[in-house]
Amino acid sequence: ETSFGNIKKLQNLVACIGAFSEVFLAEEKKTQRLVAIKCIPKKALQGKENSIENEIAVLHRIKHENIVSLEDIFESQSHLYLVMQLVSGGELFDRIVEKGFYTERDASKLIRQILDAVKYLHDMGIVHRDLKPENLLYYSMEEDSNIMISDFGLSKIEDSASVMSTACGTPGYVAPEVLAQKPYSKAVDCWSIGVISYILLCGYPPFYDEHDAKLFEQILKAEYEFDSPYWDDISDSAKDFISHLMEKDPTLRNTCEQALQHPWISGDTALDRNIHESVSAQIKKNFAKSKWKVRIPSFFSHLAFPTQQFYLIWLTWFAKNKLL
């Protein structure tokens, strides 16, 4: 048991040891409230300082009920300690699979929370750039728990003097303009939300191929279908909502604000039919974690510009604690 400041370390979260950080369960001495502490050896930050500094800079600026918060920072001669809000409800896909009843309306409520949080980020000039189901976690195990956005290691603070052009994100969720190596904007997050919405309603990704070059070609052309029979029982309103987010032209793509006003989100067009059996079966088939981990390195081999620095940073954040 270790103490520093108002925080008392309780135990290691053994499953939460990342590439260069460990995460500890801890409690505030005054309130006994549980928190998570990411402990990062400073020597491990050499060459990766920008990544952790970027996450800290972003987290310092945000406070939203659907975003994991940074609560404090401690520093010793050898380590950096990030005190984070403890999120213990598990990953999005796991919870859906565990449910016995799941509907379009459930998916709509989830996406509404994500849109609200990302709109908040965009209003502050922050682009997440790596929205994906693995970064969407439940605050608690309660049935009505909030969904939380985590992992700001790739986030970018927009300003008028800078244009984003760095290739980043996760295969299958990146917007066409990112793969096309064009300057891009916060619209990339809206594309990713469209992809997530698609998966939440059928259990499989809109773009898939064993060969990454063909996968990227599909994304660049925005080639996706609402396949039968998986989409036969899904409302036209849901399909329309997705189509406005997965618009190839970022200038025509719905913003978060526009998406929040869509009838599938703000109205009553989301159906209440149980789609759990088909969606959960497809999630289990298509999103085995080992399958996605194997595919990741090949994403970078097809990019036509140097990505080694980004690749190292990306691997660091992928390996990090999934409770944060």
Which residues, including other chains, have CB under 8 Å from residue 231's CB and lie 6 or more apart?
201, 202, 239
Chain-centroid distance of CA 22 in Å reads: 20
Active site residues: 130
The angle formed by the CA atoms of residues 276, 139 and 66, to the nearest 5 degrees, is 95
Q: Which long-range contacts (CB under 8 A, 24 or more apart) does 20-24 make?
A: 20/44, 20/45, 20/48, 20/316, 21/320, 21/321, 23/320, 23/321, 23/323, 23/324
> Based on the number of CB atoms within 10 Å of its own CB, is 23 exposed (0-12), middle (13-18) or buried (19 or more)?
buried
Helices (H), the chain: 49-61, 92-98, 104-123, 176-179, 187-202, 212-221, 236-245, 256-260, 263-266, 276-286, 289-301, 308-318
Q: What is the CA radius of gyration of the chain?
A: 20
Q: Which residues pair with 136 in a beta bridge?
A: 149
Q: Which of 109, 110, 127, 106 is nearest to 118 (CA)?
A: 127
Count of Cβ atoms closer than 10 Å to residue 264 Cβ: 26
Which residues, including other chains, have CB under 8 Å from residue 314's CB and lie 6 or more apart?
153, 154, 168, 296
Q: Which residues pair with 194 in a beta bridge?
A: none
Q: Which two structure tokens, joined as six digits, stand for 98?
A: 């565990």
